[in-house]
Structure 1
Amino acid sequence: MHRGSMTTSATWKVGRLAESSGLTVRTLHHWDTIGLLRPSQRTPGGHREYTEDDLVRLYQVLALRSLGLALDSIAACLDAGIDPLRLVRDHLAGVEASIEALGVLRERLVRLGEELSGDEAPAATALLDALRAIGGTGPEGERTLGCHLEADEIEVLRTRAAALGPATHYLLEVEWPGLYRRAERHRAAGTPATDQAVRRLVARMDELSALFTGGDAGISAGVRAAWHDDPAAMSADPDAPADDWRDLAEYLDRARHGSA
Protein backbone atom coordinates (compact mmCIF):
# COMPACT_ATOMS: atom_id res chain seq x y z
CA MET A 1 0.00 0.00 0.00
CA HIS A 2 1.17 3.55 -0.75
CA ARG A 3 -0.32 6.39 1.25
CA GLY A 4 -0.90 9.74 -0.49
CA SER A 5 -1.87 13.03 1.04
CA MET A 6 -5.62 12.38 0.81
CA THR A 7 -6.25 8.85 -0.45
CA THR A 8 -4.85 5.37 -0.19
CA SER A 9 -4.33 3.32 -3.35
CA ALA A 10 -3.51 -0.35 -3.50
CA THR A 11 -0.66 -1.86 -5.45
CA TRP A 12 0.16 -5.49 -6.15
CA LYS A 13 3.53 -7.16 -6.21
CA VAL A 14 4.07 -9.57 -9.09
CA GLY A 15 3.64 -12.69 -6.95
CA ARG A 16 0.33 -11.56 -5.52
CA LEU A 17 -0.98 -10.51 -8.92
CA ALA A 18 0.06 -13.82 -10.45
CA GLU A 19 -1.75 -15.74 -7.72
CA SER A 20 -4.87 -13.59 -7.99
CA SER A 21 -5.08 -13.75 -11.79
CA GLY A 22 -4.17 -17.41 -12.27
CA LEU A 23 -1.08 -16.49 -14.26
CA THR A 24 2.51 -17.33 -13.49
CA VAL A 25 5.16 -14.90 -12.36
CA ARG A 26 7.15 -15.91 -15.42
CA THR A 27 4.25 -14.90 -17.69
CA LEU A 28 3.95 -11.48 -16.05
CA HIS A 29 7.70 -10.98 -16.34
CA HIS A 30 7.50 -11.86 -20.05
CA TRP A 31 4.59 -9.49 -20.65
CA ASP A 32 6.59 -6.73 -18.95
CA THR A 33 9.60 -7.47 -21.17
CA ILE A 34 7.59 -7.29 -24.42
CA GLY A 35 5.69 -4.18 -23.29
CA LEU A 36 2.27 -5.82 -23.13
CA LEU A 37 1.73 -5.20 -19.41
CA ARG A 38 4.31 -3.04 -17.71
CA PRO A 39 3.90 -2.22 -14.00
CA SER A 40 3.35 1.48 -13.40
CA GLN A 41 5.51 1.55 -10.31
CA ARG A 42 8.67 0.09 -8.82
CA THR A 43 9.70 -0.19 -5.21
CA PRO A 44 12.92 1.55 -4.07
CA GLY A 45 14.51 -1.89 -4.43
CA GLY A 46 13.38 -2.19 -8.05
CA HIS A 47 10.55 -4.71 -7.56
CA ARG A 48 7.49 -4.50 -9.80
CA GLU A 49 4.32 -2.94 -8.39
CA TYR A 50 1.05 -3.02 -10.33
CA THR A 51 -1.64 -0.37 -9.87
CA GLU A 52 -5.40 -0.50 -10.41
CA ASP A 53 -4.88 0.90 -13.93
CA ASP A 54 -2.54 -2.01 -14.61
CA LEU A 55 -5.23 -4.42 -13.44
CA VAL A 56 -7.67 -2.89 -15.90
CA ARG A 57 -5.19 -3.47 -18.73
CA LEU A 58 -4.57 -7.02 -17.50
CA TYR A 59 -8.30 -7.72 -17.66
CA GLN A 60 -8.41 -6.39 -21.22
CA VAL A 61 -5.40 -8.51 -22.22
CA LEU A 62 -7.01 -11.66 -20.84
CA ALA A 63 -10.36 -10.85 -22.48
CA LEU A 64 -8.77 -10.41 -25.91
CA ARG A 65 -6.51 -13.43 -25.48
CA SER A 66 -9.57 -15.57 -24.77
CA LEU A 67 -10.79 -14.62 -28.27
CA GLY A 68 -7.68 -16.04 -29.91
CA LEU A 69 -5.60 -12.93 -30.58
CA ALA A 70 -1.82 -13.09 -30.57
CA LEU A 71 -0.03 -11.06 -27.89
CA ASP A 72 1.41 -8.54 -30.33
CA SER A 73 -2.03 -7.96 -31.82
CA ILE A 74 -3.51 -7.50 -28.34
CA ALA A 75 -0.87 -4.87 -27.62
CA ALA A 76 -1.64 -3.09 -30.89
CA CYS A 77 -5.37 -3.09 -30.15
CA LEU A 78 -4.98 -1.73 -26.62
CA ASP A 79 -2.32 0.83 -27.53
CA ALA A 80 -4.57 2.10 -30.31
CA GLY A 81 -7.32 2.66 -27.76
CA ILE A 82 -9.65 -0.08 -28.99
CA ASP A 83 -12.23 -0.84 -26.31
CA PRO A 84 -12.63 -4.62 -25.76
CA LEU A 85 -16.23 -4.06 -24.69
CA ARG A 86 -16.96 -2.39 -28.02
CA LEU A 87 -15.31 -5.28 -29.84
CA VAL A 88 -17.40 -7.79 -27.93
CA ARG A 89 -20.52 -5.80 -28.77
CA ASP A 90 -19.45 -5.76 -32.42
CA HIS A 91 -19.10 -9.53 -32.28
CA LEU A 92 -22.53 -9.87 -30.73
CA ALA A 93 -23.98 -7.69 -33.49
CA GLY A 94 -22.27 -9.88 -36.06
CA VAL A 95 -23.60 -13.06 -34.47
CA GLU A 96 -27.11 -11.63 -34.37
CA ALA A 97 -26.83 -10.59 -38.02
CA SER A 98 -25.71 -14.14 -38.88
CA ILE A 99 -28.67 -15.58 -36.98
CA GLU A 100 -31.02 -13.27 -38.87
CA ALA A 101 -29.43 -14.26 -42.19
CA LEU A 102 -29.77 -17.94 -41.33
CA GLY A 103 -33.44 -17.34 -40.51
CA VAL A 104 -33.96 -15.82 -43.94
CA LEU A 105 -32.12 -18.72 -45.55
CA ARG A 106 -34.24 -21.23 -43.63
CA GLU A 107 -37.49 -19.62 -44.76
CA ARG A 108 -36.38 -19.58 -48.39
CA LEU A 109 -35.17 -23.17 -48.31
CA VAL A 110 -38.39 -24.34 -46.64
CA ARG A 111 -40.39 -22.61 -49.38
CA LEU A 112 -38.15 -24.08 -52.07
CA GLY A 113 -38.40 -27.55 -50.51
CA GLU A 114 -42.18 -27.35 -50.48
CA GLU A 115 -42.22 -26.44 -54.14
CA LEU A 116 -39.76 -29.18 -55.06
CA SER A 117 -41.83 -31.76 -53.18
CA GLY A 118 -44.96 -30.79 -55.12
CA ASP A 119 -45.92 -31.69 -58.63
CA GLU A 120 -44.92 -28.34 -60.10
CA ALA A 121 -41.42 -27.05 -60.74
CA PRO A 122 -40.31 -24.36 -58.30
CA ALA A 123 -40.76 -20.76 -59.34
CA ALA A 124 -37.68 -19.01 -60.67
CA THR A 125 -37.98 -16.40 -57.91
CA ALA A 126 -37.71 -19.10 -55.23
CA LEU A 127 -34.56 -20.51 -56.83
CA LEU A 128 -32.98 -17.07 -57.13
CA ASP A 129 -33.84 -16.23 -53.51
CA ALA A 130 -32.18 -19.43 -52.33
CA LEU A 131 -29.10 -18.78 -54.44
CA ARG A 132 -28.72 -15.26 -53.06
CA ALA A 133 -29.15 -16.48 -49.49
CA ILE A 134 -26.35 -19.03 -49.80
CA GLY A 135 -24.04 -16.63 -51.59
CA GLY A 136 -24.48 -17.83 -55.15
CA THR A 137 -24.43 -14.19 -56.24
CA GLY A 138 -22.31 -12.97 -53.35
CA PRO A 139 -19.71 -10.20 -53.14
CA GLU A 140 -16.87 -9.71 -55.57
CA GLY A 141 -14.38 -11.35 -53.25
CA GLU A 142 -16.36 -14.58 -53.10
CA ARG A 143 -16.69 -14.65 -56.86
CA THR A 144 -12.94 -14.15 -57.14
CA LEU A 145 -12.36 -17.05 -54.77
CA GLY A 146 -14.71 -19.11 -56.89
CA CYS A 147 -12.30 -18.74 -59.82
CA HIS A 148 -9.57 -20.46 -57.83
CA LEU A 149 -11.35 -22.81 -55.44
CA GLU A 150 -13.91 -25.56 -55.84
CA ALA A 151 -17.26 -25.25 -54.08
CA ASP A 152 -16.27 -27.81 -51.44
CA GLU A 153 -13.07 -25.89 -50.72
CA ILE A 154 -14.99 -22.64 -50.21
CA GLU A 155 -17.31 -24.55 -47.89
CA VAL A 156 -14.27 -25.61 -45.85
CA LEU A 157 -13.40 -21.93 -45.36
CA ARG A 158 -16.96 -21.11 -44.31
CA THR A 159 -17.24 -24.05 -41.93
CA ARG A 160 -13.94 -23.42 -40.21
CA ALA A 161 -14.68 -19.69 -39.91
CA ALA A 162 -18.02 -20.51 -38.28
CA ALA A 163 -16.32 -22.95 -35.90
CA LEU A 164 -13.98 -20.20 -34.67
CA GLY A 165 -17.00 -18.24 -33.45
CA PRO A 166 -16.44 -14.73 -32.07
CA ALA A 167 -12.68 -14.90 -32.68
CA THR A 168 -13.31 -14.82 -36.44
CA HIS A 169 -14.07 -11.10 -36.47
CA TYR A 170 -10.90 -10.21 -34.60
CA LEU A 171 -8.66 -12.52 -36.58
CA LEU A 172 -9.93 -11.30 -39.95
CA GLU A 173 -10.60 -7.64 -39.22
CA VAL A 174 -8.06 -6.77 -36.53
CA GLU A 175 -5.09 -9.11 -36.40
CA TRP A 176 -4.68 -10.15 -40.02
CA PRO A 177 -4.89 -6.63 -41.50
CA GLY A 178 -2.50 -5.44 -38.78
CA LEU A 179 0.03 -8.10 -39.76
CA TYR A 180 -0.19 -7.06 -43.42
CA ARG A 181 0.23 -3.38 -42.56
CA ARG A 182 3.35 -4.11 -40.52
CA ALA A 183 4.75 -6.29 -43.30
CA GLU A 184 4.10 -3.53 -45.84
CA ARG A 185 5.94 -1.03 -43.65
CA HIS A 186 8.94 -3.36 -43.61
CA ARG A 187 8.78 -3.80 -47.39
CA ALA A 188 8.46 -0.07 -48.02
CA ALA A 189 11.37 0.61 -45.67
CA GLY A 190 13.59 -1.84 -47.56
CA THR A 191 13.82 -4.43 -44.77
CA PRO A 192 15.18 -7.68 -46.25
CA ALA A 193 12.58 -10.41 -46.57
CA THR A 194 14.92 -12.67 -44.60
CA ASP A 195 14.82 -10.38 -41.56
CA GLN A 196 13.59 -12.26 -38.49
CA ALA A 197 10.90 -9.66 -37.76
CA VAL A 198 9.42 -10.18 -41.23
CA ARG A 199 9.64 -13.95 -40.97
CA ARG A 200 7.82 -13.87 -37.63
CA LEU A 201 5.02 -11.88 -39.23
CA VAL A 202 4.77 -14.42 -42.06
CA ALA A 203 4.76 -17.30 -39.59
CA ARG A 204 1.79 -15.79 -37.76
CA MET A 205 0.00 -15.13 -41.07
CA ASP A 206 0.46 -18.79 -41.97
CA GLU A 207 -0.86 -19.84 -38.55
CA LEU A 208 -4.00 -17.80 -39.15
CA SER A 209 -4.31 -19.23 -42.65
CA ALA A 210 -4.18 -22.75 -41.23
CA LEU A 211 -7.03 -21.92 -38.86
CA PHE A 212 -9.28 -21.24 -41.85
CA THR A 213 -7.93 -23.74 -44.38
CA GLY A 214 -7.25 -26.63 -42.03
CA GLY A 215 -3.71 -26.68 -43.34
CA ASP A 216 -4.86 -27.63 -46.85
CA ALA A 217 -2.06 -26.42 -49.13
CA GLY A 218 -4.36 -26.36 -52.15
CA ILE A 219 -6.89 -24.07 -50.48
CA SER A 220 -4.11 -21.80 -49.21
CA ALA A 221 -2.64 -21.56 -52.71
CA GLY A 222 -6.07 -20.79 -54.16
CA VAL A 223 -6.68 -17.99 -51.67
CA ARG A 224 -3.28 -16.45 -52.39
CA ALA A 225 -3.96 -16.69 -56.13
CA ALA A 226 -7.28 -14.89 -55.65
CA TRP A 227 -5.53 -12.09 -53.77
CA HIS A 228 -2.92 -11.86 -56.52
CA ASP A 229 -5.52 -11.68 -59.30
CA ASP A 230 -7.93 -9.19 -57.72
CA PRO A 231 -6.72 -7.61 -54.47
CA ALA A 232 -9.39 -4.89 -54.66
CA ALA A 233 -12.18 -7.47 -54.58
CA MET A 234 -10.56 -9.62 -51.91
CA SER A 235 -9.84 -6.67 -49.62
CA ALA A 236 -13.25 -5.07 -50.28
CA ASP A 237 -11.29 -1.93 -51.07
CA PRO A 238 -11.92 -0.71 -54.64
CA ASP A 239 -8.96 1.64 -54.32
CA ALA A 240 -6.48 -1.07 -53.31
CA PRO A 241 -3.47 -0.70 -55.64
CA ALA A 242 -2.95 -4.07 -57.30
CA ASP A 243 0.78 -3.56 -57.87
CA ASP A 244 1.41 -2.82 -54.18
CA TRP A 245 -0.50 -5.91 -53.08
CA ARG A 246 1.37 -8.09 -55.55
CA ASP A 247 4.72 -6.65 -54.52
CA LEU A 248 3.85 -7.38 -50.91
CA ALA A 249 2.75 -10.93 -51.76
CA GLU A 250 6.07 -11.60 -53.50
CA TYR A 251 7.92 -10.09 -50.53
CA LEU A 252 6.07 -12.40 -48.13
CA ASP A 253 6.77 -15.42 -50.32
CA ARG A 254 10.48 -14.60 -50.23
CA ALA A 255 10.26 -14.42 -46.45
CA ARG A 256 8.57 -17.84 -46.36
CA HIS A 257 11.27 -19.41 -48.47
CA GLY A 258 14.16 -17.57 -46.82
CA SER A 259 15.30 -15.80 -49.96
CA ALA A 260 16.30 -12.15 -50.19
Structure 2
Amino acid sequence: MTSESTSESWRVGRLAEASGLTVRTLHHWDTIGLLSPSRRTAGGHREYTEADLARLYQVLALRSLGLALDTIAVCLDAGVDPTRLVRDHLAGVETSIEALGVLRDRLVRLDEELSAGHDPSATALVDAVRAVGRTGPEGGHALDRHLDAEQMRVLRTRAAALGPARHYLLEVEWPELYRRADRLRTAGTPATDRQVRRIVARMDELSALFTGGDAGISAGVKAAWHDDPAAMSGEPEAPAEDWRELAAYLDRARGISD
Protein backbone atom coordinates (compact mmCIF):
# COMPACT_ATOMS: atom_id res chain seq x y z
CA MET A 1 0.00 0.00 0.00
CA THR A 2 1.44 3.37 -1.00
CA SER A 3 2.03 6.28 1.35
CA GLU A 4 -0.49 8.29 -0.69
CA SER A 5 -3.24 5.75 -0.03
CA THR A 6 -2.51 5.67 3.70
CA SER A 7 -2.11 9.44 4.21
CA GLU A 8 -4.98 11.32 5.77
CA SER A 9 -7.51 13.02 3.55
CA TRP A 10 -10.30 15.53 4.16
CA ARG A 11 -13.79 15.75 2.73
CA VAL A 12 -14.88 19.20 1.62
CA GLY A 13 -17.13 19.78 4.64
CA ARG A 14 -14.40 18.95 7.13
CA LEU A 15 -11.88 21.11 5.31
CA ALA A 16 -14.32 24.01 5.16
CA GLU A 17 -14.90 23.79 8.90
CA ALA A 18 -11.18 23.55 9.69
CA SER A 19 -10.20 26.44 7.40
CA GLY A 20 -13.07 28.79 8.15
CA LEU A 21 -14.10 28.78 4.50
CA THR A 22 -17.48 27.78 3.14
CA VAL A 23 -18.13 24.65 1.14
CA ARG A 24 -19.36 26.91 -1.65
CA THR A 25 -16.01 28.73 -1.71
CA LEU A 26 -14.06 25.47 -1.93
CA HIS A 27 -16.34 24.26 -4.72
CA HIS A 28 -15.75 27.53 -6.58
CA TRP A 29 -11.99 27.28 -6.18
CA ASP A 30 -12.20 23.74 -7.53
CA THR A 31 -14.22 24.95 -10.53
CA ILE A 32 -11.71 27.67 -11.46
CA GLY A 33 -8.75 25.35 -10.89
CA LEU A 34 -7.29 27.30 -7.99
CA LEU A 35 -7.57 24.46 -5.47
CA SER A 36 -8.80 21.10 -6.71
CA PRO A 37 -8.90 17.95 -4.57
CA SER A 38 -6.39 15.32 -5.58
CA ARG A 39 -8.78 12.46 -4.88
CA ARG A 40 -12.37 11.48 -5.47
CA THR A 41 -14.20 8.67 -3.71
CA ALA A 42 -16.00 6.00 -5.66
CA GLY A 43 -19.14 8.02 -5.03
CA GLY A 44 -17.57 11.13 -6.54
CA HIS A 45 -16.98 13.02 -3.27
CA ARG A 46 -14.02 15.40 -3.10
CA GLU A 47 -11.10 14.36 -0.90
CA TYR A 48 -8.23 16.73 -0.20
CA THR A 49 -4.74 15.42 0.58
CA GLU A 50 -1.91 16.89 2.63
CA ALA A 51 -0.46 18.35 -0.58
CA ASP A 52 -3.79 20.06 -1.20
CA LEU A 53 -3.68 21.52 2.31
CA ALA A 54 -0.22 22.92 1.59
CA ARG A 55 -1.61 24.62 -1.51
CA LEU A 56 -4.58 25.88 0.51
CA TYR A 57 -2.17 27.55 2.93
CA GLN A 58 -0.42 29.24 -0.02
CA VAL A 59 -3.74 30.47 -1.39
CA LEU A 60 -4.83 31.86 1.99
CA ALA A 61 -1.42 33.42 2.69
CA LEU A 62 -1.32 35.17 -0.67
CA ARG A 63 -4.92 36.31 -0.27
CA SER A 64 -4.06 37.77 3.14
CA LEU A 65 -1.41 39.87 1.38
CA GLY A 66 -4.14 41.46 -0.73
CA LEU A 67 -3.72 39.48 -3.94
CA ALA A 68 -6.72 38.69 -6.14
CA LEU A 69 -7.58 35.10 -7.02
CA ASP A 70 -6.35 35.53 -10.61
CA THR A 71 -3.02 36.80 -9.33
CA ILE A 72 -2.77 33.96 -6.81
CA ALA A 73 -3.37 31.42 -9.57
CA VAL A 74 -0.61 32.93 -11.71
CA CYS A 75 1.80 33.02 -8.76
CA LEU A 76 1.14 29.40 -7.86
CA ASP A 77 1.43 28.28 -11.49
CA ALA A 78 4.74 30.13 -11.79
CA GLY A 79 5.96 28.71 -8.49
CA VAL A 80 6.48 30.65 -5.29
CA ASP A 81 9.30 30.34 -2.80
CA PRO A 82 7.69 28.77 0.32
CA THR A 83 10.23 30.45 2.62
CA ARG A 84 9.60 33.87 1.09
CA LEU A 85 5.84 33.31 1.30
CA VAL A 86 5.93 32.39 4.99
CA ARG A 87 8.22 35.31 5.81
CA ASP A 88 6.03 37.78 3.92
CA HIS A 89 2.95 36.37 5.60
CA LEU A 90 4.65 36.64 9.01
CA ALA A 91 5.76 40.21 8.28
CA GLY A 92 2.20 41.16 7.39
CA VAL A 93 0.84 39.58 10.55
CA GLU A 94 3.44 41.30 12.74
CA THR A 95 2.69 44.65 11.10
CA SER A 96 -1.01 44.16 11.79
CA ILE A 97 -0.34 43.19 15.41
CA GLU A 98 1.83 46.26 15.89
CA ALA A 99 -0.78 48.55 14.34
CA LEU A 100 -3.57 47.03 16.41
CA GLY A 101 -1.45 47.42 19.56
CA VAL A 102 -0.98 51.11 18.83
CA LEU A 103 -4.68 51.48 18.16
CA ARG A 104 -5.51 49.70 21.44
CA ASP A 105 -3.28 52.08 23.40
CA ARG A 106 -4.94 55.09 21.79
CA LEU A 107 -8.42 53.78 22.48
CA VAL A 108 -7.54 53.06 26.12
CA ARG A 109 -6.44 56.69 26.49
CA LEU A 110 -9.67 57.92 24.93
CA ASP A 111 -11.73 55.63 27.16
CA GLU A 112 -9.91 56.84 30.30
CA GLU A 113 -10.52 60.49 29.45
CA LEU A 114 -14.18 59.91 28.59
CA SER A 115 -14.74 57.79 31.73
CA ALA A 116 -13.28 60.60 33.84
CA GLY A 117 -15.81 62.98 32.35
CA HIS A 118 -13.22 64.83 30.29
CA ASP A 119 -13.45 65.64 26.63
CA PRO A 120 -10.62 63.83 24.86
CA SER A 121 -7.66 66.03 24.04
CA ALA A 122 -6.90 66.95 20.45
CA THR A 123 -3.66 64.99 20.71
CA ALA A 124 -5.51 61.84 21.78
CA LEU A 125 -7.97 62.19 18.91
CA VAL A 126 -5.23 62.73 16.34
CA ASP A 127 -3.29 59.74 17.69
CA ALA A 128 -6.41 57.58 17.42
CA VAL A 129 -7.09 58.70 13.85
CA ARG A 130 -3.50 57.95 12.87
CA ALA A 131 -3.67 54.52 14.50
CA VAL A 132 -6.90 53.69 12.66
CA GLY A 133 -5.22 54.70 9.42
CA ARG A 134 -2.39 52.26 10.06
CA THR A 135 -4.77 49.34 10.28
CA GLY A 136 -6.25 50.01 6.83
CA PRO A 137 -5.23 48.34 3.57
CA GLU A 138 -2.34 49.25 2.53
CA GLY A 139 13.58 49.74 -12.17
CA GLY A 140 16.33 51.25 -10.93
CA HIS A 141 18.63 53.16 -13.25
CA ALA A 142 16.67 52.27 -16.40
CA LEU A 143 13.64 54.07 -15.02
CA ASP A 144 15.72 57.01 -13.76
CA ARG A 145 16.61 57.82 -17.36
CA HIS A 146 12.95 58.16 -18.34
CA LEU A 147 11.15 59.43 -15.24
CA ASP A 148 11.75 62.60 -13.24
CA ALA A 149 12.15 62.68 -9.46
CA GLU A 150 8.46 63.31 -8.79
CA GLN A 151 7.35 60.46 -11.07
CA MET A 152 9.80 58.11 -9.35
CA ARG A 153 8.45 59.23 -5.99
CA VAL A 154 4.88 58.40 -7.12
CA LEU A 155 5.97 54.95 -8.30
CA ARG A 156 7.81 54.20 -5.05
CA THR A 157 4.94 55.47 -2.90
CA ARG A 158 2.34 53.39 -4.73
CA ALA A 159 4.58 50.32 -4.67
CA ALA A 160 5.29 50.72 -0.95
CA ALA A 161 1.57 50.98 -0.24
CA LEU A 162 1.10 47.48 -1.64
CA GLY A 163 3.27 45.96 1.11
CA PRO A 164 4.37 42.33 0.62
CA ALA A 165 1.96 41.98 -2.33
CA ARG A 166 4.38 44.10 -4.35
CA HIS A 167 6.89 41.24 -4.53
CA TYR A 168 4.36 38.82 -6.02
CA LEU A 169 2.91 41.35 -8.45
CA LEU A 170 6.26 42.58 -9.76
CA GLU A 171 8.53 39.57 -9.44
CA VAL A 172 6.12 36.68 -10.01
CA GLU A 173 2.90 37.64 -11.79
CA TRP A 174 4.18 40.32 -14.18
CA PRO A 175 7.13 38.25 -15.53
CA GLU A 176 4.87 35.21 -15.84
CA LEU A 177 2.37 37.24 -17.89
CA TYR A 178 5.19 38.26 -20.23
CA ARG A 179 6.34 34.64 -20.55
CA ARG A 180 2.81 33.50 -21.39
CA ALA A 181 2.39 36.24 -23.96
CA ASP A 182 5.75 35.38 -25.56
CA ARG A 183 4.83 31.70 -25.78
CA LEU A 184 1.65 32.65 -27.63
CA ARG A 185 3.61 34.99 -29.92
CA THR A 186 6.23 32.40 -30.84
CA ALA A 187 3.46 29.83 -31.41
CA GLY A 188 1.96 32.13 -34.04
CA THR A 189 -1.17 33.04 -32.06
CA PRO A 190 -2.73 36.21 -33.53
CA ALA A 191 -2.44 39.27 -31.30
CA THR A 192 -6.22 39.63 -31.51
CA ASP A 193 -6.74 36.22 -29.88
CA ARG A 194 -8.80 36.27 -26.70
CA GLN A 195 -5.96 34.70 -24.66
CA VAL A 196 -3.57 37.48 -25.65
CA ARG A 197 -6.14 40.20 -24.97
CA ARG A 198 -6.76 38.82 -21.48
CA ILE A 199 -3.05 38.87 -20.70
CA VAL A 200 -2.74 42.44 -21.99
CA ALA A 201 -5.77 43.53 -19.95
CA ARG A 202 -4.15 42.17 -16.77
CA MET A 203 -0.81 43.81 -17.62
CA ASP A 204 -2.61 47.12 -18.04
CA GLU A 205 -4.37 46.62 -14.69
CA LEU A 206 -1.01 46.11 -13.00
CA SER A 207 0.40 49.15 -14.76
CA ALA A 208 -2.47 51.30 -13.52
CA LEU A 209 -1.99 49.90 -10.03
CA PHE A 210 1.59 51.17 -9.91
CA THR A 211 1.28 54.35 -11.98
CA GLY A 212 -2.15 55.50 -10.83
CA GLY A 213 -3.13 55.80 -14.48
CA ASP A 214 -0.61 58.62 -15.04
CA ALA A 215 0.02 58.69 -18.80
CA GLY A 216 3.45 60.30 -18.40
CA ILE A 217 4.66 57.63 -15.99
CA SER A 218 3.23 54.86 -18.19
CA ALA A 219 5.03 56.28 -21.23
CA GLY A 220 8.29 56.52 -19.29
CA VAL A 221 8.05 52.94 -18.08
CA LYS A 222 7.31 51.75 -21.61
CA ALA A 223 10.31 53.70 -22.95
CA ALA A 224 12.53 52.11 -20.28
CA TRP A 225 11.37 48.65 -21.32
CA HIS A 226 12.09 49.50 -24.97
CA ASP A 227 15.59 50.89 -24.29
CA ASP A 228 16.79 48.40 -21.68
CA PRO A 229 14.56 45.29 -21.53
CA ALA A 230 17.27 43.22 -19.83
CA ALA A 231 17.47 45.60 -16.86
CA MET A 232 13.70 46.02 -16.62
CA SER A 233 12.97 42.30 -16.84
CA GLY A 234 15.76 41.28 -14.48
CA GLU A 235 16.99 38.85 -17.15
CA PRO A 236 20.48 39.96 -18.29
CA GLU A 237 20.44 37.51 -21.19
CA ALA A 238 17.11 38.74 -22.57
CA PRO A 239 17.65 39.68 -26.25
CA ALA A 240 16.50 43.26 -26.73
CA GLU A 241 15.01 42.56 -30.14
CA ASP A 242 12.84 39.73 -28.76
CA TRP A 243 11.44 42.02 -26.08
CA ARG A 244 10.73 44.73 -28.63
CA GLU A 245 8.93 42.27 -30.88
CA LEU A 246 6.89 41.15 -27.89
CA ALA A 247 6.06 44.77 -27.03
CA ALA A 248 4.86 45.36 -30.58
CA TYR A 249 2.79 42.16 -30.38
CA LEU A 250 1.17 43.36 -27.15
CA ASP A 251 0.47 46.77 -28.67
CA ARG A 252 -1.31 45.06 -31.56
CA ALA A 253 -3.42 43.22 -29.00
CA ARG A 254 -4.33 46.61 -27.54
CA GLY A 255 -5.30 47.84 -30.98
CA ILE A 256 -2.25 50.10 -31.26
CA SER A 257 -0.66 50.10 -34.70
CA ASP A 258 3.09 49.55 -35.03
TM-score past 0.5 threshold: yes
Distance in 2, matches of 1:33 and 1:258, equals 35
8 Å CA contact 2:61, 2:85 repeated in 1: no
For the residue of structure 2 that corresponds to 1:49, the secondary structure is strand
Deviations 1:126-169 (A, max 9, x none): xxxxxxxxxxxxxxx53432333222111100111111111112
- How many residues end up aligned between the 2 structures? 209
Deviation at 1:8, TM superposition (A): 7.4
Counterpart residue number, 2:185: 187
Which amino acid in the other structure matches residue 158 of structure 1?
R
Task: Name the structure 1 match of 2:196.
Answer: 198
The TM-score normalised by the length of structure 2 is 0.69
2:14 maps to which residue? 16
Aligned equivalents of 2:78, 2:154: Cα separation in 1: 33
Structure 1 residues 91, 24: CA separation in 2 closer, same or farther (over 3 Å shift)?
Answer: closer
Give yes or no for contact 2:39–2:46 (8 Å, CA) kept in 1.
Answer: yes
Q: 1:8 to 1:177 in 2, by over 3 A?
A: closer
1:60-96 superposed Cα distances (whole Å, 9 cap, x missing partner): 2111222244545544554566442334447989xxx
Say if 1:250 and 1:26 are closer, same or farther in 2 by CA, change over 3 A.
Answer: farther
Give the 3 Å change call, closer, same or farther, for CA 232–16 of structure 1 in structure 2.
Answer: same
Matched to 1:211, the amino acid is: L
Q: Report the Cα distance in structure 1 between the residues aligned to 2:88 and 2:61, rounded to whole angstroms.
A: 14
**What is the alpha-carbon root mean square deviation over aligned residues?**
3.1
Give the CA deviation at 1:237: 3.6
1:162 and 2:157 are equivalent in the alignment: no
Shift of 1:198: 1.4
Structure 2 partner of 1:144: 142
Aligned to 2:33: 35
State the one-letter code of the partner of 1:53.
Answer: A
Provide the rounded CA distance (Å) in 1 between the counterparts of 2:29 and 2:256.
29
Following the alignment from structure 2 to structure 1, what is the Cα–Cα distance between the partners of residues 42 and 90? 46
Q: Distance in 1 between matches of 2:237 and 2:217?
A: 26
Tell me the residue number matched to 1:45.
43
CA distance in 2 between counterparts of 1:9 and 1:87 reads 25
Match of 2:64 in 1: 66
**Aligned residue for 2:123?**
none
> Which residue of 2 is the match for residue 249 of structure 1?
247
Q: Mean Cα displacement is larger for which, 50-59 or 69-78?
A: 69-78
Q: Secondary structure at the match of 1:148?
A: coil
CA distance in 2, matches of 1:32, 1:258: 37
Shift of residue 257, structure 1, vs aligned partner: 2.6
1:80-99 equivalences in 2 (<5 Å): 82-89=80-87
Return the TM-score normalized by structure 1: 0.68
Say if 2:224 and 2:232, in contact at 8 Å, map to a contact too. Answer: yes
- Shift in alpha-carbon separation, 1:19–1:257, aligned structure 2, 3 A: farther
Q: In the TM superposition, what is the alpha-carbon distance from 1:197 to its structure 2 partner?
A: 1.5
Is the 1:63–1:84 contact (alpha carbons within 8 Å) kept by the matching residues of 2? no
**Counterpart-to-counterpart distance in 1, 2:245 and 2:78:** 27
Deviation at 1:188, TM superposition (A): 0.7
1:193, 1:258 within 8 Å by CA — same for their partners in 2?
Answer: no
Structure 2 unaligned residues grouped into runs of 5+: 92-138
Residues 217/20 of structure 1: CA separation in 2 closer, same or farther (3 Å cut):
farther
Residue 215 (structure 1) aligns with? 213
1:104 aligned residue: none
